[in-house]
Amino acid sequence: MTVRQDKKTDSQTGTVILEEVTLESGRVLRQVETAYERAGRKNGTPVVVCHALTGNHHTVGTEERPGWWRGLIHEGGYVDLNEHEVFTFNVIGGCSGSAGPLTRNPDSGAQYRSDFPFISVRDMVHVQKAALEKLGITSIHAVLGGSLGGMQALEWVTLYPERVGQAVILAATSSLSDYGMAYNAIARKAITDDPKWNGGHYAANDPPVNGLALARMTGMITYRSGSLFNQRFHRETKHGPGQSHDEVAYQVESYLLYQGDKFTKRFDANSYLYLLKAMDSHDLERESEETLQERLAPVQLPVTFISFTGDLLYPPEEMKRLAETFAKAGAKAAFFEVDTVFGHDGFLTEYSKWGDIVRSALEKPAEEGKAI
């Protein structure tokens, strides 16, 4: 196990190695690296944060490079590092330090690439639980996450309800809608139709960046609301209306192209496909003869659901239905809808609108008056 300490934030990054992991598919991975960050008060109440689709374990980060949820989690923050010790693991299948397509097969010595086995959200959570145990943590005060991170948090409470004190689910439901899967299908097609794809065994120095950029552009449309796009761009042009088909005429085009290009510099195409497939396949009712309410019966713990208006992927009404199902199953469920123009990405911004809900959930789970 390797550890690096950041003195300014009292955060650590490191890697846990699991000797063997049996996946849902039956495939076995050996020497499974799991990158993590831990931050906050040593021996404070342990909180697990699960990251979203293209996120990583750098939740808090450093002063020089703040993590992606630093606005929520810091000393004196909504998740107070003076009280809690926060753990975040890079998911397996990703490309930020945990086992995935870019890691080497210990048997062959070559990178797995598209030979890496299929990964489910349940696999991610099983690995996180095993890695936590390696770090000496056997139970947690809370688990929270948004989007794919929210899906992981849902699996945490259904797989290990006896290990979890409570959960905060942001912008996530029990399964991805057909609408969301449709956009993921377009993203996959963009990557696999790139001439450089080569069945996932593309050259390391010449990856399918055009397809990956287009996939990211497609995703960006679903992460933000139409209202935000309209407010931000106002049909502004760059150089007039444009006279050729390949000319970037409008600011919204320029924005999407920029986001696509930036993404290709930090993410791997194979990893993106594996994580999209994990998101598509996630379903709390999958491979169960029980109804969802019956499967949730062991989850007798507080669960707080936070939705965001304009979320195209996980609409508030669907999150509310899930919260009601948890409540009927016996959980102490609470539901909140945050008014925002950011849509799905609301869980990554405007913390002043919803951070106190998280704070209250950690201090006084499932706030009375908002209970389902």
Q: Is 261 annotated as a binding residue?
A: no
* Predicted local distance difference test score (pLDDT) of residue 2: 56
d(CA 293, CA 333): 13
pLDDT of the residue at 4: 53
Listed by start position, the domains of the chain span 11-176+285-362, 181-278
CA distance 59 to 89: 9
pLDDT tens across 181-237, in order?
Answer: 999 999 999 999 999 999 999 999 999 999 999 999 999 999 999 999 999 999 988
pLDDT value of residue 21: 98
In this prediction, residue 105 carries a pLDDT of: 96
Q: What is the DSSP string of 24-43?
A: TTS-EEEEEEEEEEEEESTT
At 246 the pLDDT is 75
Annotation: CATH topology of 181-278: Rna Polymerase Sigma Factor; Chain: A (1.10.1740)
Residue numbers annotated as active site: 147, 311, 344
Ranges of H-type helices in the chain: 121-134, 148-159, 178-192, 209-223, 226-233, 251-264, 269-281, 292-295, 316-329, 351-363
CATH number at 11-176+285-362: 3.40.50.1820
216 in a labelled binding site: yes
Q: What is the pLDDT of residues 245-260, one digit of tens each?
A: 777 889 999 999 999 9
The pLDDT of residue 369: 36
The two structure tokens encoding residue 317: 């009404």
By three-state DSSP, how is residue 68 classified? coil
Return the pLDDT at 288: 85
